[in-house]
Amino acid sequence: MIIIFKTDLTEEKLHRIAEKIESDGFYTRPISQYGKLLLSVDGPNTEKLSKEVKKWQDVEEVIDGHFPYYLASRKCHKSNSVIRIGKGDNQVTFGDREISIIAGPCAIETEETALSIAEKVKDAGAKIFRGMLFKPRSSPYSFQGIGKDGLEILDEIKKKTGLLIVTEVREACEADLVADHVDIFQIGTRNMSNFQLLKYIGKMNKPVILKRGMGSNIIELLCAAEYILSYGNTNVILCERGIRTFEQFTRFGLDIAAIPSVKELSHLPIIFDPSHASGKSSLVSSLTLAGISAGADGVILEVHDKPENAFSDGTESITPLQLKNLIKKVKKIAEIIDRRI
């Protein structure tokens, strides 16, 4: 459960209250977020404690365990959270009128191909480059990524193009390794429920794209975000990337309804990934237009110069020219729904 205190409560008093609760066998953790002073309390039978705490004069409200994503919810923060990344002309925002386009290959392969793709996605209108070094693959025999050898390539891309860079991190040591080289972390579908990683990223102040687990529902996605928020990092961008369904033609089912649903439940921005969802380049354009129309704050797309030669996910990668044409269409939709690129 979470105890929300009146804002004039001093830290000293909070400390004393926490000590008292702990002496009754509970675990507490103070959280200061969105201008509120909170105490997370877990342990045996918090229901009885909850009834008692509600009577305390310093307490504004008690959120019981049945509402597990308070910080991520609109109940906590009514207006959209706006996340700003980068500076000057290279700045992007998530959560206001802007629709941000993230594009790049599934994985960094060589410096030459990565740089060539980066220049072309920039020319097409993308402002963020996806440059994955560590690949979480279903099979141990599939390409695992070039790892830390790619850091210099990311630096080079940033220097030459000015694009912001997102890369996936699968464990804490990867986050430490890439932190000074990239602008945004990605936590992929397979790690959405890696709670230790979520806590670790929560303690870093780096924007993070948190992808929905392929077998997770919307509330579980918001709970995963809650981990990051409750450990201090409010720069969370959610991502719908398709969930497992009985359908075999597409790789996953892109849950378009998740986009307005998340907007209803949460103040956090949400983007989507039609590439990994569909697994088919032929479907990427239609799905992109659908997701943007549904109100997404951005889209992450796999783009490759020569999809047939890609080390991974070539079947779902579109070409830079296809990206350019797609962005033109996205711009038209953006106008209709009063947004901009």
**Chain contacts with ligand PEP (rule: CB under 6 A):** 106, 132, 136, 168, 188-190, 211, 241, 273, 276
Q: Which does 263 bind (CB under 5 to 8 A by kind): ligand PEP, Mn ion, none?
A: none
Which of 227, 313, 323, 339 binds Mn ion (CB under 5 A)? It is 313
The 3-state DSSP class for residue 313 equals coil
Q: Which residues pair with 300 in a beta bridge?
A: 102
Shortest gap between Cβ of 224 and ligand PEP (angstroms)?
A: 13
**CA-based angle 229:232:238, to the nearest 5?**
30
Q: Which does 298 bind (CB under 5 to 8 A by kind): ligand PEP, Mn ion, none?
A: none
Whole-angstrom distance, CA of residue 52 vs CA of residue 29 = 19
Residue in 178, 189, 116 with CA at minimum distance from that of residue 152: 178
Shortest gap between Cβ of 5 and ligand PEP (angstroms)?
A: 38
Shortest gap between Cβ of 114 and ligand PEP (angstroms)?
A: 14
Stretch that binds Mn ion, among 99-107, 118-126, 160-168, 216-224 (CB under 5 A): 99-107
Shortest gap between Cβ of 174 and Mn ion (angstroms)?
A: 17
Whole-angstrom distance, CA of residue 244 vs CA of residue 216 = 9
Choice between 168 and 226, CB closer to ligand PEP = 168
At 29, which amino acid appears? R
How many other C-beta atoms lie within 10 A of the C-beta of residue 108?
30
Choice between 69 and 272, CB closer to ligand PEP = 272
Stretch that binds Mn ion, among 5-13, 88-96, 103-111, 183-191 (CB under 5 A): 103-111
Choice between 126 and 334, CB closer to ligand PEP = 126
Encoded one letter per residue, x for contact with Mn ion by CB under 5 A and - for no contact, window 266-305 reads ----------------------------------------
Whole-angstrom distance, CA of residue 145 vs CA of residue 172 = 17
Residue closest to Mn ion (Cβ):
106
Residue closest to ligand PEP (Cβ):
188
Q: Which does 211 bind (CB under 5 to 8 A by kind): ligand PEP, Mn ion, none?
A: ligand PEP
Choice between 280 and 331, CB closer to ligand PEP = 280
Choice between 185 and 227, CB closer to ligand PEP = 185
Choice between 133 and 204, CB closer to Mn ion = 133
Whole-angstrom distance, CA of residue 312 vs CA of residue 332 = 31
106 binds Mn ion per the rule CB under 5 A: yes
189-209 as b/e: b if 16+ CB within 10 A: bebbbbeebbbbbbebebbbb
Which two three-digit tokens encode residue 30? 């103070």
Choice between 81 and 281, CB closer to Mn ion = 281
Sheet with 59-63, strands from edge to edge, namely 27-33, 36-42, 2-5, 59-63
Choice between 98 and 273, CB closer to ligand PEP = 273
Whole-angstrom distance, CA of residue 212 vs CA of residue 103 = 19
Shortest gap between Cβ of 275 and ligand PEP (angstroms)?
A: 8
The 3-state DSSP class for residue 301 equals strand
- Residue 51 CB-density burial (10 A; 0-12 exposed, 13-18 middle, 19+ buried): exposed
Q: Which residues make up the interface to Mn ion (CB under 5 A)?
A: 106, 313
